Amino acid sequence: MKKATQQTDQQRIYQEFAKKREPSPSIWKNCLKAFIFGGLICVIGQGLQNFFIYYFDFNEKTAGDPTVAVLIFIAVLLTGFGVYDKIAQFAGAGTAVPVTGFANAMASAAIDHRTEGYVLGVGGNMFKLAGPVIVFGTTAAFIIALIKTIWIQWGG
Amino acid sequence: MLQGSQSWKFLNEPVILSTGVVGGPFEAKGNLADDFDHLFSDIWLNESSFEKAQTRLMEEASYTALAKVNKKPEDMQFIFTGDLINQITTTSFACRTLSIPYFGLFGACSTSMEGLALASFVINYGGAEYVLTGTASHNAATERQFRYPVEYGFQNPPTAQWTVTGAGVAVVGKTGTGPVVTSATIGKVVDMGATDPYNMGAAMAPAAADTIEAHFTDFDVDPSYYDYIVTGDLGKVGLPLMKELLRQRGLMVTDEQCMDCGLLIYSNDQKEVQAGASGTGSSAVVVYGHLLERMKRQEIKKMLVVATGSLHSPLSYQQDETIPCIAHAVSVEMKGV
């Protein structure tokens, strides 16, 4: 409860009453499904990486780029065909955590706002869901880098 | 006539002359497919946006209801309607086409009964000969406004509900044959501190219980007066909560007596639905399509329809506001025969 402190007694009693009767998602089952699906996506990724190393002129470091590009492409395609959200309902975090989840977040927002035009619709809303990841990812990276720099300066 | 503190008794008994009910492809796979006048095979309805598709649903349902009684939009004096989309534009655009003097309502998913109560009031006191009332909702249009983009991969919790793509509209008139509206109870905004927009059933149950209690107090009858007490979209989570709340207050409703529109429309095979259907269309489609047909077949004599709405917005939710809810009750009876 977000505002538990501001709730009246009556509200608090009802919330406790309702909470007791609420069906909860089965955490273990969802964790297992997420583990299997998320792992499966990573296995596909690994397969792709090996494929690029074996058949093309990539090494272990550079093969990551085409691998990620292919995974993103597949995720966007599945989003466009309206399949990704159905897989996600089953797989949960398994499809959200890998790079495919990020691709889906961007593609779904872009598709959704296509009706409002390319500039204000697609352009303005594409990062609606993915934006916070980039903002806080960059911020976190900056802070960590700052700590690292100071650490080395003082420590070394 | 004012009855008690917040109810109206309609002594002239306005008649629901006809209804028009349309739905989408997902509804076609549900339990009540046969009760729809028309089911569209594509959620876009050949329109360029989901909002336009919702406008089409409203228009189609309205024209269907009018056609059944050989009326034209100009025969209607007023229309009472609304929907869930920002500034109820989809409804206003439908009313631009219909060109009937228009009262735009916002009661979220309680709009269907808010509209029927007001329509009946106007008819009862000679304010109009014929009035149109109803509402539409569209799954994708609602999803994208209230939740996430339609194609976004998000795991809905078991308490989440599925917005109905559909519209239900009724022609209410002074005289004629059909189920009659005998009374209505207008609900207060009830906020029991719910904060989870993925659990609307639990948020709305106290509002439903509040209005039902007020109805029975105002009319001094007990629940056995009605064959059915039908809620709009409390779903699997909200319906048991409402029954328990009513029983705590001494209103001994039976399990067979309580029905929820949100639990009737889809089949158990439709896993996406989770806790049940929701949306303004939920109660409109089930009441005007399914339940009134059952009344005409004399399977139901008296029912109290309690449409429940949650009055939050994505903005109010993000600003950490709780979810205020409302419920309006309308009593529909099948007389004679």
Does B236 contact A23 at a Cβ distance shorter than 8 Å?
yes
| Dist. CA A120–CA B108, nearest whole Å | 28
Q: What's the gap in Å between the CA of B136 and the closest CA on chain A?
A: 20
- The domains spanning B2-173 and B180-333 adopt the same CATH topology: yes
Pairing of the two strands B7-9 and B166-173: unpaired
Q: In this predicted structure, what is the pLDDT of residue A75?
A: 95
Helix (H, G, I), strand (E, B) or coil at B229: strand
Q: Quick check: is A140 in a domain?
A: no
Q: Which two tokens stand for residue A110?
A: 């872009």
Q: In this predicted structure, what is the pLDDT of residue A1?
A: 45
Q: Which of A23, A25, A108 is opposite residue B237, by nearest beta carbon?
A: A23
Q: In this predicted structure, what is the pLDDT of residue B337?
A: 58
Span B197-207, pLDDT tens digits: 999 999 999 99
Residues from chain B contacting residue A18 (CB–CB below 8 Å)? 192, 194, 202, 205, 241
Residue B195 has φ and ψ, to the nearest 5°, of -125, -5
- In order along its 156 residues, chain A shows pLDDT tens digits of 445 557 889 999 999 999 999 988 888 999 999 999 999 999 999 999 999 999 998 998 899 999 999 999 999 999 999 999 999 999 988 998 778 999 999 999 999 999 999 999 999 999 999 999 899 999 999 999 999 999 998 876
| Dist. CA B110–CA B137, nearest whole Å | 12
This prediction's pTM? 0.93
Q: Which of B49, B156, B158 is opposite residue A23, by nearest beta carbon?
A: B158
Contact B327, B204 (CB under 8 A): yes
Whether chain B has a CB inside 8 Å of the CB on A108: the answer is yes
Contact B330, B117 (CB under 8 A): yes
E strand or H helix that includes residue B106: none
Contact B328, B306 (CB under 8 A): yes
For chain B, the domains span: 2-173, 180-333
Q: In this predicted structure, what is the pLDDT of residue A7?
A: 82
Could you tell me how many CB contacts below 8 A there are between chain A and chain B?
A: 108
Residues from chain B contacting residue A12 (CB–CB below 8 Å)? 193
Whether chain B has a CB inside 8 Å of the CB on A25: the answer is yes
Amino acid at B138: H
- Supply the angle between the helices B139-146 and B50-68 in degrees, to the nearest 10: 140
The DSSP letter of residue A126 is: T
Q: What's the gap in Å between the CA of B202 and the closest CA on chain A?
A: 6
Q: To the nearest whole percent, how much of chain B has pLDDT over 70?
A: 100
Residues from chain A contacting residue B195 (CB–CB below 8 Å)? 1-3
Residues from chain B contacting residue A17 (CB–CB below 8 Å)? 241, 244
Residue B38 has φ and ψ, to the nearest 5°, of -150, 140
Does B237 contact A85 at a Cβ distance shorter than 8 Å?
no
pLDDT above 60 (res B80): yes
Question: Which residues have CB under 8 Å from B80's CB, separation 6+?
Answer: B103, B105, B114, B115, B116, B118, B119, B122, B131, B132, B133
Span B86-140, pLDDT tens digits: 999 999 999 999 999 999 999 999 999 999 999 999 999 999 999 999 999 999 9
This complex has an ipTM of: 0.87
Q: In this predicted structure, what is the pLDDT of residue B209?
A: 97
Task: Output Rg (C-alpha) for chain B, integer angstroms.
Answer: 18
| Dist. CA B326–CA B317, nearest whole Å | 17
Pick the CATH number of B180-333 from 3.40.47.40, 3.30.565.10, 3.40.50.300, 3.30.420.40: 3.40.47.40
Residues from chain B contacting residue A84 (CB–CB below 8 Å)? 151, 153
Span B135-186, pLDDT tens digits: 999 999 999 999 999 999 888 999 999 999 999 999 999 999 999 999 999 9
Does A115 contact B159 at a Cβ distance shorter than 8 Å?
no
Does B202 contact A18 at a Cβ distance shorter than 8 Å?
yes
Question: Which residues have CB under 8 Å from A109's CB, separation 6+?
Answer: A125, A126, A127, A128, A129, A130, B149, B152
Quickly tell me which residue has 């309702």 as its tokens.
A18
Q: Quick check: is A147 in a domain?
A: no
Span B5-56, pLDDT tens digits: 999 999 999 999 999 999 999 999 999 999 999 999 999 999 999 999 999 9
Q: Which residue stretches of chain B are H helix?
A: 25-28, 50-68, 89-98, 111-124, 139-146, 200-219, 235-248, 261-264, 280-285, 292-296, 314-318
Q: In this predicted structure, what is the pLDDT of residue A98?
A: 77
**Which of A29, A85, A116 has the highest number of chain B CBs within 10 A, making it the mutation to test binding with B?**
A85
Residue A128 has φ and ψ, to the nearest 5°, of -55, -45
| Dist. CA A120–CA B17, nearest whole Å | 45
Helix (H, G, I), strand (E, B) or coil at B9: strand
Number of domains in chain A: 1
Residues from chain B contacting residue A25 (CB–CB below 8 Å)? 155, 157-158
Q: To the nearest whole percent, how much of chain B has pLDDT over 90?
A: 97
Residue range of the domain that includes A105: 25-129
Q: In the structure, what pLDDT confidence band is assigned to residue B271 with cuts at 50, 70 and 90? A: confident
Angle at A133 between CA A129 and CA A134, to 5 degrees: 110
Span A13-47, pLDDT tens digits: 999 999 999 988 888 999 999 999 999 999 999 99
Calculate the average pLDDT of chain B.
Answer: 96
Whether chain B has a CB inside 8 Å of the CB on A122: the answer is no
Q: Quick check: is A107 in a domain?
A: yes
Residues from chain B contacting residue A16 (CB–CB below 8 Å)? none
Query: Averaged over B289-303, what is the pLDDT?
Result: 96
Residues from chain A contacting residue B249 (CB–CB below 8 Å)? none
Q: In this predicted structure, what is the pLDDT of residue A5?
A: 57
Query: Averaged over B289-317, what is the pLDDT?
Result: 96
User: What are the Cα distances from residue A25, in Å, to A35, A94, B156, B158, B162?
Assistant: 16, 15, 9, 6, 17
Q: What's the gap in Å between the CA of B44 and the closest CA on chain A?
A: 12
Span B13-22, pLDDT tens digits: 999 999 999 9
Q: Which two tokens stand for residue B313?
A: 């917005």
The architecture CATH gives domain B2-173:
3-Layer(aba) Sandwich (3.40)
